[in-house]
Structures are given as structure tokens and as C-alpha cells.
Amino acid sequence: MNRSESFAGWMFILPCLIGFGLLTLLPILFSLVISFTEWNFLDGLAGIKFIGLKNFAEMWSDRNFTGSLVNNLIFAGIVVPLTMVLSLLTAVALNTKSFLKSPIRLMIFMPYVSSMVAVSVVWSILYQPTNGPINQFLRSLGISDLPGWLASSDWALPAIIIMTIWMNIGYNMIIYLAGLQGIPKELYEAAKMDGAGSVKTLLSITVPLLSPTTFFVVITSIIQSFQVFVAVFVMTQGGPGGSTSVLTYYIYQSGFTFYKMGYASAMAWILFIIIFIVTAFQWRAQKKWVNH
């Protein structure tokens, strides 16, 4: 490649590089700097006060932070495996020559591409404890002790978990369907000739050969579960009693409600470190269970 072609290539990617530098890289580096400061951004840059590692030390004694971290771990620990299992089973069922296969795929995938705000508002109405459709249905079944859903500190987080699983099944289903297309049909025919049932075939052929797809789904699902924000912001505002507060919401609250930008930036970097460690662990562990 001569210099003119190289120059032309750099010119084509230059706008993207400038946008990435100004809108992504620079804010990331700035957040790292102010994570070592105490700063109310309403005071301007003159209000920045360097305090070292104080933000990182104090957050572990902050009950709101530790509570949000625990809620996030519970959220991820339930959403990720349940979404994966349900997505895989749905993909396997729809991979066969079933009736109305394409419309069903579309209906399952639609929630994922819908507006998160709109979906959260609709589910808030469904979860209405007195006259909401869900509790009315449960009441028709003869259940008297109805869940309070978003109004209950015991049920608010499970309510958001249920909605999140419902939304994410469609995306993971599409990924698994793509992976299923790459499995040779001869393997299933041989298993059928050997007398293997559907469960045995699923566990012995489908699941092992889908392990690269599962690895991708695990990584993306974990990252998404630690970035949940819109549902909490729209449906509960972290309540009741902090029962649905997660790290991203508490970071937002600290920065833009309490104006503690240094503290919020420190928590954001802790969140980044957590996601990085989990991803690195998964990347290392995949050598033992992913079959390429």
C-alpha cells in the first residue's frame, strides 16, 4: 500500500477517531481523574478538591453502595442463567418445522427491540397491586395473598427480573438459532438411529456444540445485567426502601441528584473493574468448557 492510499484510509476513519476521542475516550479519562476528587460540578472546575483514595475507601462502608452491589449480584445471578436456559429451549423448539414458526420468532424478538421506557411503563401498569391485570388474574385463580410487586420491598426486584428475562429471551433466542444452523443434521440422524431421545440428544449434541454460542451469550448477558438502569429508573426509582437500587442507578443518583461527581466516578470505575474481572474469568474458563 502506497502513502496516498494509506493517507486516504486515515482520512476516512478520522471523523470516527475524533468522535471516539472527544465523546468516549476523553470522558473516560476525565472520570478516572475526578474519581480521586471531591467535586460538586455546579461549582465548576474550580470546585475540584483532590482527596486521593478516599472515595474508593468510603464506598465500602456506604450501605447504599453495598446494598446496590448485592442487588446487582442477585439480579445478574438470576437473570443470566434463566434467560439462557429459556432462550435455548425456545430456540430448539422453533428450530424444528413447527407451525407459524416465523411469526412466533418475531413475537418473541419484538420486546427486545422495543423502547425500554415504553416497556417499563406497560409493565408498571401490569404490576399495579390493586387493579393490575396480573393480580386480577391471580385473584381469579383463588389466590388471596397477592404480591405487592413494585410497591413491595420483597417483590419489586423479582418484578424487574421477570420483565428483564421476558425482554432478553428474544435476542438470545436469535443467537442460539444462528448457532443451531451450524450443527450438522447428520449428528441428529445418527443419534435418532441409536435410539437417543430428545433430552439425551439435547444434552449430548446440542448443548456441547453450542458452547461457543453459549460463551458469547454469557459474556454479553453478564455485561447487560450489570448495566441495568432504565427499568429501575422508570419503574421504582430504586425503591421501595432501596430494594431495587443497582450500581448504575446509584451512580446516577450520586452524580446527578447529590452532585457528588467524584464519588460517582469512583463507583463507576469499581463497576468497570467488576465487569472486567468477571469477563476475564469467563474468558479464561471457556478453554475448559467451550468446544470449537
Number of structural domains, the chain? Answer: 2
Q: What residues of the chain score a pLDDT lower than 70?
A: 1-2, 97-98, 291-292
Alpha-carbon distance values, 157 to 6, 68, 79, 153, 233 (Å): 53, 11, 11, 8, 13
pLDDT score, position 292: 60
Query: Residue 152's domain is classified under what CATH number?
Result: 1.10.3720.10
pLDDT score, position 196: 80
Q: Is residue 50 part of a domain?
A: no
Q: Is residue 35 part of a domain?
A: no
Rounded CA-CA distance 224/133 in Å is: 29
Summarised one tens digit per residue, pLDDT across range 156-170 is 999 999 999 999 999
pLDDT score, position 235: 96
pTM of the entire predicted model? 0.91
Summarised one tens digit per residue, pLDDT across range 208-249 is 999 999 999 999 999 999 999 999 999 999 999 999 999 999
| SS3 assignment, position 130 | coil
The answer to whether the beta carbons of residues 123 and 163 sit under 8 Å apart is: yes
* Cell numbers describing residue 89: 429451549
Amino acid at 168: N
Q: Is residue 230 part of a domain?
A: yes
Q: Is residue 11 part of a domain?
A: yes
Rounded CA-CA distance 97/184 in Å is: 16
pLDDT score, position 98: 67
Which residue segment(s) compose the domain that 16 sits in? 1-30
pLDDT score, position 60: 94
The answer on 245 and 168 residing in a single domain is yes
The answer on 117 and 16 residing in a single domain is no
Summarised one tens digit per residue, pLDDT across range 106-123 is 899 999 999 999 999 999
Q: Is residue 48 part of a domain?
A: no
The answer on 12 and 93 residing in a single domain is no
Q: For residue 226, which of 282, 285, 152, 149 has the smallest C-alpha distance? A: 282
